[in-house]
Structure 1
């Protein structure tokens, strides 16, 4: 049987595995199932230790993207390990400090916004720049975004604008890299998922169940569905996509006027 995706034997760096429920882990597993070699980067020694069982026998680097110079250190370690060329990078990193609970957007603290921006958006720029010499000429870089940059959910706080920045950074990187490489940058705009990270967002369960009713199929996304799309974007079969955001939301964004939701809402108004 032919290798349609043509990722077998190629090396990919996956960043952002936290546990078995992580999008990054589902992507890594899928790549490995297709014969690819996957190496990992996690944020700390503590995280690496917590993943000893899950990532046993795999090459794991540490890169805390919040720290200046961390991406350059990672690039040097990749080079020292003779991993080049990397055929793709998965950037599945995000952080927001919600320790004080949700506040109106206009009350967002500067330090929280800048920290989340550095980790969740600008890290893609620093990482890409640091690893540029070690990428295959036609490598693919994929980051995980959100399905809509227009919605304003109360319980997502200031991460909405930061995800918009991530989306824009990907497009600008696509153009910038195009001057001397064929490296592509794309975003997977994921609908709501049931992950450990999302479980920590106050009120997320209600939003998750509500969004499920707005999908055409009345069933929310599986993490594997996002992973499948990501692996496609990492492969040569997506060569025509660059600077794009591929929305994966089971129709959520196109079904605001679902008759069942309208019926329930109008009943509550009476």
Structure 2
């Protein structure tokens, strides 16, 4: 039984970097459920790097910092007459080349670049692909479990993700004038990915998360991916403009007795 009703549905996945990335876990699970996946990566170099991992798949290149490349991608995707039933936006970037600094020292260039790549790209992609989307398509982006906690290890990206989360409501409203397209996000807790490992201080935060999560184990990339799969499927048709938190209960357990005793004993 095709419970998720994803078989033969066309889904475009942005942001596969390697086999550890959330986008790859989503795409792999989509394929396992019979979906027809097309991949979009940032550059020709990345396409070459993924050649073996994604052998036989359709891979497009698009650097979302360049509007003309988004338009060109839409033209390429339009060559396939089948409507796009799902879009996965797993794109984020922040320039931490100078390390993590106090938030008030964030530069204009850093912040605007992060907003452009990590947030505005969703709006631009949806606008460009609008004529290609199925009437009831589902768009899913990857966000974070909370944008209100001032985690220093995440730098200035939390406010950027807050803008991404807010965009869901406005995209849902504007698209509702002519379609039933849905826009939702997976608000994932700390994940062990190659991209996150490059953030200064992130590994220590992940180790803390493993202790704070009630089950004593960190959130897996596949768990975040599974939620995205559900949001992409018609089974989630009643969910619109939401960020679904997937943190394995970490947000309920900050005052865990063992953590408190460990700190108090220092």
Comparing 69-78 and 28-37, the one that deviates more: 69-78
SS of the aligned residue for 1:69 comes to helix
Unmatched runs of 5 consecutive residues or more in structure 1: none
Give 4+ residue runs of structure 1 displaced > 6 Å after superposition: none
Q: TM-score, normalised by structure 1?
A: 0.97
1:4 is aligned to 2:8: no
Aligned counterparts, 1:169-180, within 5 A: 169-180=167-178
Separation in structure 1 between the aligned mates of residue 200 and residue 94 of structure 2, nearest angstrom: 13
Q: TM-score, normalised by structure 2?
A: 0.98
Quote the residue 2:75 is aligned against.
76
The answer as to whether partners of 1:140 and 1:185 remain within 8 angstroms in 2 is: yes
Separation in structure 2 between the aligned mates of residue 37 and residue 182 of structure 1, nearest angstrom: 21
Separation in structure 1 between the aligned mates of residue 122 and residue 234 of structure 2, nearest angstrom: 21
Shift of 1:256: 1.5
1:115 is aligned to 2:124: no
| TM-superposition CA deviations, 1:144-180 (whole Å, max 9, x none) | 0000111111111110100111111122111111111
The answer as to whether partners of 1:78 and 1:84 remain within 8 angstroms in 2 is: no
RMSD: 0.8
Quote the residue 2:47 is aligned against.
48
Comparing 250-259 and 24-33, the one that deviates more: 250-259
Separation in structure 2 between the aligned mates of residue 242 and residue 26 of structure 1, nearest angstrom: 23
| TM-superposition CA deviations, 1:94-138 (whole Å, max 9, x none) | 000111111111111111111111000000000000001000000
Q: 2:242 aligns with which of 226, 241, 244?
A: 244
Quote the residue 2:181 is aligned against.
183
Q: 2:265 aligns with which of 242, 255, 267?
A: 267
Quote the residue 1:104 is aligned against.
102
SS of the aligned residue for 2:6 comes to coil
SS of the aligned residue for 2:70 comes to helix
Shift of 1:202: 1.2
Aligned length: 266
Unmatched runs of 5 consecutive residues or more in structure 2: none
Label 1:83 to 1:203 Cα distance change in 2 as closer, same or farther (>3 A).
farther
1:148 is aligned to 2:130: no
Aligned counterparts, 1:22-101, within 5 A: 22-80=21-79, 82-101=80-99
Label 1:226 to 1:185 Cα distance change in 2 as closer, same or farther (>3 A).
same
